[in-house]
Structure 1
Amino acid sequence: MAGGEPTLQREIHTLYSDHHGWLCSWLRTRLGNSFDAADIAQDTFMRVLIGYRADAIPVLCEPRAYLTTVAKRLLINHYERQSIERAYLASLMALPEALTPSVEERAILLETLQELDTLLDALPAKVRTAFLMSQLEGVAYADIAARLQVSVRTVTRYMAQGFTQCLKLMLAQAA
């Protein structure tokens, strides 16, 4: 073990033991159930742990404020995933029975949609909007430019960023 690791482990252990119960309670009041709260609390501490390993987290003067910030981001992701799932299920209900995908196909499609949402979430808002307008709605670049009040050249750059993000996902899955 490196010389600093035991100290980091103690700090993480202390952070977890001092604040896990509080964070679960805080999340439970926002989510209305303890299962999702426990999952998001765990994800919050995993993000903190990953940050420590990357030496990206400064000394935490206000650990609950930091944990709240991380947890809020994860809550937003949680709500977005639920929204995607509801929209997907609603679109399935509109399909004729003969075209309805199997349960396995639904699970695969839903997982892919969630991965795409996570992937695109890393993009700036205008880039994400332009990419989705083009790819999901079939809107022409000139129309996207007009709606977003940017040049067609900027929309082209946005699209390149969106495709780059998609390629990153594909390469990560292939590895």
Structure 2
Amino acid sequence: MSSAPHHEVHKLYNIHHGWLVEWLRRRLGCVHHAHDLAQDTFVRVLDKPLVIQGVHEPRAFLSRIAHGLMVDQFRRRAIEQAYLEALQHLPTRHMESAEERMMNIEALMRIDAMFAGLNPNIRTAFLLSRLHGMTYPDIAREMNVSLRSVEGYMAKAIGHLLANARQDTLG
């Protein structure tokens, strides 16, 4: 990173760090989590040194990044909690190590990210088909939609997932 973007990040941090911590504290209810997320926000800013030079509203810029990180954190916690609850229903001989658990949670996070942005009907149709093994006519009855709608939902879901997979391999 050249010294000009580094200087801009340093300046942004010095001027707005306190404000960001307070903004996050009000939303999270915990000053420690607010500090952690503020640091994560500035780490994210460090990854975008050329972007900050064109920022005219630094607080809006920082709050947008911090909000995205908060949403990611809440999503991760919800997924982790659901996973841990599901594990409680397994016999103890199927228990996994902490490392396996974290790897599985990371995989679930990637799957969740792949489905992000999908219309709920499309996501539901896809999950009914792939996870529950339902046929398209069964899905149509279950969702109270036409067979043609289910076919369209499935085509959109598969297209979306393929586009995400391509993006992951290219990006």
Query: Scaled by the length of structure 2, what TM-score is found?
Result: 0.74
- Amino acid of the structure 2 residue aligned with 1:155: M
C-alpha distance in 1 between matches for 2:130 and 2:106: 18
66-75 or 5-14, larger mean C-alpha shift: 5-14
Q: Quick check: 1:116 aligned with 2:111?
A: yes
Aligned to 1:28: 25
Residue identity matched to 2:156? R
Matched, 1:153 2:152: yes
Q: CA deviation at 1:62?
A: 2.2
Given residue 93 of structure 1, which amino acid in structure 2 is its aligned partner?
Q
Q: Given the alignment, which residue of 38, 41, 53 partners 1:41?
A: 38
Residue 89 of structure 1 and its aligned partner are, at CA, apart by 0.7
Deviations along 1:66-113, one digit per CA (max 9) or x if unpaired, are: 211221121111111110011001111111212222333212211221
Q: SS of the residue aligned with 1:95?
A: coil
What's the Cα RMSD here?
3.2
1-side partners of 2:144 and 2:115: how far apart? 17
Once structures 1 and 2 are overlaid, which stretch shifts more, 123-132 or 150-159? 123-132
> Gapped runs of 5+ residues in structure 1?
none
Aligned-pair identity in percent equals: 36
- For 1:105, the equivalent position in structure 2 comes to 100
| CA drift at 1:129 | 4.8
With the length of structure 1 as denominator, give the TM-score of the two structures. Answer: 0.73
In structure 2, C-alpha distance between the alignment counterparts of 1:140 and 1:107, rounded to whole Å = 33
Q: Pick closer, same or farther for the CA change 1:48–1:120 going to 2, 3 Å.
A: farther
